[in-house]
Amino acid sequence: MSHNPILIEPEELEPLLDDDKLLLVDLGKPESYSQIHVPGAIHLDYPLLLAGTKPAPGLLPSEERLTHLAGMLKLDPTSRVVAYDDEGGGRAARLAWTLHYLGYQRVQVLNGGIHAWNNEGHPVSEDPVFPDDTQTLPVISHDPTVLATRDYVLEHLNDDEVVLLDARTPEEYAGTKAYAARGGHIPGAKNINWQDTMDPDRNLRLKGASQLQNMLTLRQIDSQQEVITYCQTHHRSAHAWMMLKSLGFTRVRGYAGSWSEWGNDLTLPIEQGGS
């Protein structure tokens, strides 16, 4: 299984800081950014990546908002985006997933985020960086293989070539804790709590590839299948998407509606219990 460079390590990033084609994007909390960030990074408010409307706030934002995002980041074929956050990569992964959906793959996530960067002695700054006046850039294309819609998930529930990965807690998966009209999970989904894929002893980097692969093998998830990740709002499951991409999985979709859409739609099938 080939390694997909969706991740970049701090020691790989530092020599690139003077590259004028590099765009660093901080998706951490605003107060964290104001105190410490990678030199040259702009701050991006995470809600810009979401529709934000109930009952499924994690759906993709409007085309107008996506065009605004492309303009803010000045996406072009020669640019290189590196995203990070202060929580282990979930928000940064959501940006990476969004850019992949927009057909832009020159994006990486800083493994371990600001924790790894700062704790391992790389340079930091308190000086805010403001993006230039946002220009309007048309979104050139969309990659439909990155996104799973409600109907797509429903259509593939009994497809042996497609597997669902639920990145929520075991309690949410079982239905004993619910943040929607119904608790439980999408039928057939396998559960890996996103926090179990992080290594707290390595500044919240992803765990080693062999550890992650063992988790997937135990749940009968392999790279020959198409994997659809979901959680509550496609935040934790964007991290799971990133994890699979880092292992070389090529067929990975994110279900943006996630459980907030599925669990609130009383017409859709669910399962409860299990592990």
Percent of the chain with pLDDT over 70: 95
Residues linked to residue 24 through DSSP beta bridges, in sequence order: 82
Tokens of 156: 């593939």
Nearest to 198 by CA among 7, 23, 29: 7
Looking at residue 2, its pLDDT comes to: 38
Whether the predicted pLDDT of 73 surpasses 90? no
Based on the residue annotation, tell me whether 8 is a catalytic residue of this protein.
no
Tokens of 217: 């093998």
Are the beta carbons of 50 and 175 closer than 8 angstroms? no
Looking at residue 23, its pLDDT comes to: 94
Are the beta carbons of 51 and 59 closer than 8 angstroms? yes
Q: Tens digits of per-residue pLDDT, 166-198?
A: 999 999 999 999 999 999 999 999 999 999 999
Domains (range + CATH), the chain: 7-119 (3.40.250.10), 144-262 (3.40.250.10)
Whether the predicted pLDDT of 1 surpasses 70? no
- pTM for this predicted structure: 0.95
C-alpha 34/C-alpha 49 separation (Å) is 21
| Per-residue H/E/C for 30-42 | HHHHHHCECCCCE
Q: Which of 146, 231, 238, 243 is catalytic?
A: 231
C-alpha 257/C-alpha 260 separation (Å) is 6
pLDDT range class, residue 75, cuts 50, 70, 90: confident
Tokens of 240: 């799971």
Q: What DSSP character marks residue 182?
A: S
C-alpha 164/C-alpha 193 separation (Å) is 13
Nearest to 165 by CA among 103, 89, 243: 243
Residues linked to residue 198 through DSSP beta bridges, in sequence order: 206
Task: Report how many helices (DSSP H) and strands (DSSP E) the chain contains, helices first.
Answer: 10, 12
